[in-house]
Chain A
């Protein structure tokens, strides 16, 4: 059953690089699995850890936060703050037993359509064998 599982991924993409990069994947007609729902935010620096925990709580199997490469953030350093916050979250989640693969971060520039598709493909591949994420998922 596990290999059948279609993971649900939420991707927080900064508007200027990563969302534009995923647009670039579109313009270049690069195919990737449809498991990812993009949520465009202004900057990776605007992604609160609450968003990520909430996404898991609302049923996401995986969460991606993606921003501009260091030095390229449209707001100069939003991604640097994001990097710090996410580093700690990245340590905390496996500590309570959540598979480390479920939360990922990437730098994807507006030109890196291909990299975006590779990240999503890889992400889906890693999540499939893990099955659904139930630890943080709200079950009423």
Chain B
């Protein structure tokens, strides 16, 4: 079991000794039980840190944002950041290291084990119990989730309440860390992706209909992109939303901006946007599930990334974020890569 007091102790030490400029972790949120990310800068605040099955966020996003913020500052604080990472989050760190977005010294990783379980899918749990009454959500035995409702403990089996990605997760403890809390229990994934299986089994027209239905709802609010720690690019090629038109921007610069897709959320453009994002995340997506969680339209975005995760493994034996020293999926090849699809 992860003892949250140990995490707090380490965080306090790091802050007191001035080793880090902040600790990114989870605290109890305004909506009661549901944890939210927080940047702790004072040792006095470390007692707010929590670790429980509601710690869903991928905090690596904040590492990315801090990094960008640093670049904007004239005299940035160069001390590292401490960050709480689950298994998936730690692999996101590895991808950032692989892509040299951050250096290893820039982060102190407080790795936490997912307790042979995972994090809770809020929607699933709320379907089972009314939200107001939940006072606490904690890990039980054998991956079970315990919710305290009106002072009463209710135990839920993992299949009922865990986020899909946790049910499918193959590495539920960090692969890279400086401090580790909890136990390394290798959990067998229940199914690596029933969602992908389902789509693969559909006939072509069904697949098309499925995705048309889903993607037609996409508002192109870009919440998925904003929450993704891998979408750290200065500008997104598909939709350069951050292309700043400044007074110095010449007409030619504007004309040279490629409009790969229309801004309006037409179905065709939504398709291209999501396909490009999927391809750009191939070999990089660690399946933290954040994109799908934040999507206001409940579009199963993970199923796109998951498909490519499956193919990257099947075709190239590649798993994202396992090794920060290895070349990326697309910047290497093997002589024996499959080519039966080539004429």
Contacts and interface: CB of A to CB of B under 8 A. Distances in A.
Determine whether A and B are in direct contact in the complex, meaning some CB atoms lie less than 8 angstroms apart: yes
B333 to A, nearest CB: 4
B343 A107 contact: yes
B211 A97 contact: yes
A98 interface: yes
Given A57-B272, A84-B316, A87-B315, A96 B207 contact: yes
B339 A57 contact: no
A111 interface: no
Interface size class of A (residues with CB under 8 A): 35 or more
Interface string A58-74: 00000000000010000
Contacts of B238: 50
A129 interface: no
Interface string B307-343: 1100110011000000000000111010101110111
A88 B282 contact: yes
Contacts of A119: 343
Contact of B278 (A92, A97, A106): A92
Nearest to B314: A91
A89 interface: yes
Interface in B238-254: 238
A46 interface: no
Contacts of B304: 92, 95-96
A90 B341 contact: yes
A122 B341 CA distance: 15
A139 B338 contact: no
Interface size class of B (residues with CB under 8 A): 35 or more
Given A137-B268, A139-B266, A81 B333 contact: yes
Interface in B181-232: 199-200, 204-212
Nearest to A105: B342
A83 B343 CA distance: 12
A140 B262 contact: yes
B337 A84 contact: yes
Nearest to B204: A97
Contacts of B331: 81
Interface string A114-138: 0000010000000000000001111
Nearest to B338: A87
Given A57-B260, A91-B315, A136-B272, 7 more contacts: A49-B276, A57-B272, A80-B337, A95-B307, A97-B211, A97-B212, A137-B268
Interface of A: 49-50, 53-54, 56-57, 70, 77, 80-81, 83-99, 104-107, 119, 135-140
25 contacts: A50-B237, A50-B276, A53-B275, A53-B276, A54-B260, A56-B272, A57-B260, A77-B333, A80-B333, A81-B330, A81-B333, A84-B329, A85-B330, A87-B338, A87-B339, A92-B279, A92-B307, A97-B209, A99-B204, A105-B343, A107-B342, A107-B343, A119-B343, A139-B266, A140-B262
